[in-house]
Copies of this chain bind each other. A is one copy, B any other.
């Protein structure tokens, strides 16, 4: 606590105080002192002084010298969503446990912004980058490669870097199967009663739509194109699609698959302006898990993607010597309606 308000102590200050040279101080404080054959007593003296003066390493200086920063980046489409925010939470925990510092940023699904944001991260000499849900993973890849930055794709695959994604096809099959079965409990289901909303022209959407259509065709016999409504990822556009369907049919489809919790927000917007009867008997599947979404006043089957496993796998890949641009699938799990899963929050100490 010595030195309130004064400038931060540096190795030069400690050098003077201890009588040792700056390089000795540096070695002691970064742990390389045994290798440098510094006497134990010297080390202890310096460490005592460092504590007394609240020394902390200037990481910009270290980073400049070593051209590494201890920062690990995570590029997200958005923060404000339970899937990505829980990914951020897991990411942060794992980065910390590796003694590094997480740097989570979002780029709004805008390819140009994605590249720019990554350029900025590179300017800070980040050591590694997780690219989650990027609209243009390969564009980002090129930026990373030019800077020699190790990176992996999460959630949406690229062709040039290793990717770890949810097994969207299998997940979509499970989810479709679940809502079909549930709908059949209420009576026969015609192909026109089962829709899919949301998603756009990306790998995840394609796979999910493929899984949906395969199961639908197998179980209901037909699979008209009109039942696929890829509205993009915006709640507003999704709401519009529900609105359009409703205008045409006077109701919502009996059962439908929603491509993500962001699209599910679009459904909320629709519900907000329509009476309860409109959706009294709908059955919904949502490819994402949200603890409140699971308790809506109609059955909502959800898919929980294992973002923690994806991050773990991502680090394993980055740690490996060779990093071929292979896509790794992580199996998601299906969550029946009215289920409250425990999440990253439960790791918090809040015993009181």
B-contacting residues of A (Cβ < 8 Å)? 1, 3-5, 7-8, 54, 56-61, 63-64, 69, 71, 78-82, 84-86, 88-89, 92, 101-106, 108-110, 119-120, 122-125, 145-148, 200-201, 232-237, 261-262, 264-265, 268-269, 271-272, 290-297, 338-340, 342-352
Number of identical protomers: 2
Jot down 17 A-B pairs with beta carbons below 8 A, ordered by A.
A54-B146, A58-B64, A64-B64, A78-B89, A92-B105, A103-B103, A104-B104, A108-B348, A109-B349, A200-B352, A232-B352, A234-B348, A236-B346, A264-B292, A265-B291, A292-B295, A297-B297
Kindly state the separation between the CA atoms of A4 and B146 in the bound complex, as whole angstroms: 5
For A291, the chain B residues whose CB sits under 8 A away are 265, 268
Assess A272 versus B89: contact at CB under 8 Å? Given A4-B146, A109-B350, A123-B57. no
Do A350 and B237 have beta carbons less than 8 Å apart? yes
Do A79 and B78 have beta carbons less than 8 Å apart? no
Do A80 and B345 have beta carbons less than 8 Å apart? yes
Assess A346 versus B234: contact at CB under 8 Å? Given A58-B123, A123-B57, A268-B292. yes
Closest B residue by C-beta to A274: B338
Q: Which residue in B80, B232, B345 is a CB contact (below 8 Å) of A350?
A: B232
Q: Which residue in B3, B272, B290, B340 is a CB contact (below 8 Å) of A269?
A: B340
Q: Which residue in B82, B271, B293, B343 is a CB contact (below 8 Å) of A340?
A: B271
Assess A272 versus B352: contact at CB under 8 Å? Given A79-B89, A146-B5, A290-B292. no
Q: Which residue in B5, B82, B234, B347 is a CB contact (below 8 Å) of A345?
A: B234
Assess A147 versus B201: contact at CB under 8 Å? Given A123-B57, A123-B58, A268-B292. no
For A79, the chain B residues whose CB sits under 8 A away are 79, 85-86, 88-89, 92, 104, 344
Minimum Cβ distance to chain B for residue A263 (Å): 11
Kindly state the separation between the CA atoms of A312 and B135 in the bound complex, as whole angstroms: 29
Q: Which residue in B61, B108, B272, B292 is a CB contact (below 8 Å) of A338?
A: B272
Q: Which residue, of A8, A78, A290, has the highest number of chain B Cβ atoms within 10 A?
A: A78
For A119, the chain B residues whose CB sits under 8 A away are 56
Do A8 and B147 have beta carbons less than 8 Å apart? yes
- Nearest 9 Cβ contacts at the A-B interface: A292-B292, A297-B297, A234-B350, A268-B340, A269-B340, A85-B85, A79-B88, A59-B123, A292-B293
Q: Which residue in B4, B56, B344 is a CB contact (below 8 Å) of A145?
A: B4
Kindly state the separation between the CA atoms of A63 and B124 in the bound complex, as whole angstroms: 9
Closest B residue by C-beta to A124: B59
For A85, the chain B residues whose CB sits under 8 A away are 79-82, 84-85, 88
